Amino acid sequence: MTELPLVSRYAKLLPPDEPDGPFLYATDHVVTWGDTSKVGYLYYSRLIEWQGHLRELFALDFLDEYVRMLLQGHLMLTQSLSCEYLREIDLGDTISERLAVSWVNGPRMLGDFTYHRATPSGEELVARGQQMWVNATPQGHPAPWPPSVLDTCRQLNIDVAEALTA
Amino acid sequence: MTELPLVSRYAKLLPPDEPDGPFLYATDHVVTWGDTSKVGYLYYSRLIEWQGHLRELFALDFLDEYVRMLLQGHLMLTQSLSCEYLREIDLGDTISERLAVSWVNGPRMLGDFTYHRATPSGEELVARGQQMWVNATPQGHPAPWPPSVLDTCRQLNIDVAEALTA
Amino acid sequence: MTELPLVSRYAKLLPPDEPDGPFLYATDHVVTWGDTSKVGYLYYSRLIEWQGHLRELFALDFLDEYVRMLLQGHLMLTQSLSCEYLREIDLGDTISERLAVSWVNGPRMLGDFTYHRATPSGEELVARGQQMWVNATPQGHPAPWPPSVLDTCRQLNIDVAEALTA
Amino acid sequence: MTELPLVSRYAKLLPPDEPDGPFLYATDHVVTWGDTSKVGYLYYSRLIEWQGHLRELFALDFLDEYVRMLLQGHLMLTQSLSCEYLREIDLGDTISERLAVSWVNGPRMLGDFTYHRATPSGEELVARGQQMWVNATPQGHPAPWPPSVLDTCRQLNIDVAEALTA
């Protein structure tokens, strides 16, 4: 499976890192002064904001029906997140941020984020993170992901074997 | 008129700068690394974010009924803003941000912001700004400010002579 | 003058709005949830942060020598800014942000920002703003812009008739 | 050990949660519109920005000598962070954010963050997080924490048994 299965409007789809892995959803960030602190490097919280921007571009790009549900009160809750900082990121760096949804399990979904700096000879991994999301009713009760979300996941080669069916 | 007319929960009320002027609503900010950029000083956009935080604390503090209207779809639109940067602001500075509503005129209200740095001998003005707000119906049509807002304005010695009455 | 005079790495150059006007430097923003507030629309301060991102991409793109000076302590100070909000901006909107430097005068430079929403039939102006910058020595004294900056300005058809020469 | 060992300028010191635990460094946040998203609740990344603000107030408050070292190029690197979101946080909520440094081990230091919402009957835990920091030379090499930092840690009842000595 090496073809890009869907057309993306807001970012790029990249082929899976591993043969059976999920497609990657990617966007570029150029680090400007406003992203840095007096220390001189990228301020750490910016990577977390970028996680939000990318996951939400993903929803706008691939999950039209789910976005409509969210606008009517349905909830996609952030349950937890983490981030590891491997190398300092500097002004002017171009960072490719990539999101791969690793799996859907019951009402939960795990997103893996990686951050790669463009270098003259290729790229290097500079940070990585995760977010765990829960699909919930407007009342806040965890619920199975809607079929339209699971359909998109399958097209992106995301493991939905443990997804509940409504 | 020198007495503080209302009890504030979230910030401080300060007496008017001039005898007939409006009371000032004030909060302190301590500048941390996350507020600065690689240049070494406060990043300029932070003052604009602080304008929002202070105006919204003001609403939560003094405009209970209006906040309820806003939560039901009523709109308080930001029509324009400006900011003048007079001196560089540095890490560790304590900045007193103050909001004075200068006047209400028809559906519009003008807020003046000043930023004062605490110094060993007193304080110095480091920046100032303005925001113009418009009260609007949920459909976005400009409308007179509700009586409860004008009552609070009068208590804070704000000029409402040109406010429309509904 | 309709040719694009320079190659841009980080954003797009657009032809002048008027025959003798400056070229426009432009980037797109897609509005995600993190850009909005509980009111439902784009939070006003985000446009001000975007001003910073675009001006700094511009510097990284066209002002290599000046960026090196800035990294050695030279200062480009934000003296003032303003923004007018013409229409509400919503989740999922694609906003083209454009920067045109209108003129250089002594140590000052004026940047005009416009924000255009993509619509099915074209685009509409949704906001506009300005920033005034001052070139300064590391000690904070206003100073003429370096020749390399003025050269770039001329290539972009920016009016530098009133620029001081060092 | 129940006395507050140091005077804090920027935030409050609270007694340890457990008899032998570290003192807590705490500040309050009132949630305003700018902290929320179209979903209606606090946007998740704001808690991560608050982590930075609190840790940096802590440094400004208790670590004068270390702050001077940081301003001269010494580095305190964020190695990793995490956050768990337990309950939705709403507009107008008052959130007490508390930082307890759990331990120092070699060049590393672990900070625990908790977020408590004020309720009519007391408070409730709404989120918690962690950050791991590494003390490093200006060249980026991990290094033992300076004695002045360890002294402050001891005064705050922080476990430094595994700290390296220089």
- How big is the CA angle at D127 (ends D124 and D132), to the nearest 5 degrees? 135
All residues at 6 or more sequence positions from B74 whose CB lies less than 8 Å from its CB, including other chains: B66, B135, B136, B137, B138
Whether residues C37 and D39 touch (CB distance < 8 A) is answered with no
pLDDT at B164: 74
Give yes or no for residue B1 having a pLDDT over 60. no
Name the packing angle between helices B64-71 and B45-62 (round to 10°): 110
Average pLDDT, chain B: 95
Chains in touch with C (≥3 Cβ pairs < 8 A): A, B, D
- ipTM of the complex as predicted: 0.95
pLDDT at A39: 96
pLDDT digits (tens, 9 = 90+) for A119-137: 999 999 999 999 999 999 9
B141's tokens: 């049509």
Chains in touch with D (≥3 Cβ pairs < 8 A): A, B, C
- Other beta carbons within 10 angstroms of residue A9's beta carbon come to 11
Residue with token string 């919204």 = B56
B92 touches chain A (CB under 8 A): no
pLDDT digits (tens, 9 = 90+) for C88-135: 999 999 999 999 999 999 999 999 999 999 999 999 999 999 999 999
Q: How far apart are CA A57 and CA A63, in angstroms?
A: 10
A77 touches chain C (CB under 8 A): no
D108-119 and D94-105 strand pairing: antiparallel
Rounded mean pLDDT, A16-42? 96
Chains in touch with B (≥3 Cβ pairs < 8 A): A, C, D
Whether residues A30 and C57 touch (CB distance < 8 A) is answered with yes
Mutation site, B67, B82, B115, interface C, largest C CB count within 10 A: B82
| Minimal-distance CA residue of chain D relative to A88 | D77
Partner residue facing A52 (CB), from D45, D80, D83: D45
pLDDT digits (tens, 9 = 90+) for C4-13: 778 889 999 9
In chain C, pLDDT over 70 holds for what percent of residues?
97
A56 touches chain C (CB under 8 A): yes
Among A152, A153, A133, smallest CA distance to A143 is for: A133
Q: Within a 13 Å sphere around the CA of D57, how many CA atoms are in the beta-carbon half?
A: 23
Chain B closest-CA separation from residue C7 CA (Å): 27
pTM recorded for the entire structure: 0.96
Whole-angstrom CA distances from C68 to A6, B38, D88 are 42, 13, 45
Whether residues B67 and D33 touch (CB distance < 8 A) is answered with no
Class of domain C12-163: alpha beta
In chain C, residues with a C-beta closer than 8 Å to the C-beta of D33 are 37-39, 43
Contact D48, A45 (CB under 8 A): yes
Give yes or no for residue D4 having a pLDDT over 80. no
Partner residue facing C43 (CB), from D34, D40, D41: D34
Mutation site, D37, D46, D49, interface C, largest C CB count within 10 A: D37
Contact A116, A98 (CB under 8 A): yes
Please identify among residues 108-147 of chain A the ones whose CB lies closer than 8 Å to any CB of chain D. Answer: 140
Size of interface C-D (CB pairs under 8 A): 28
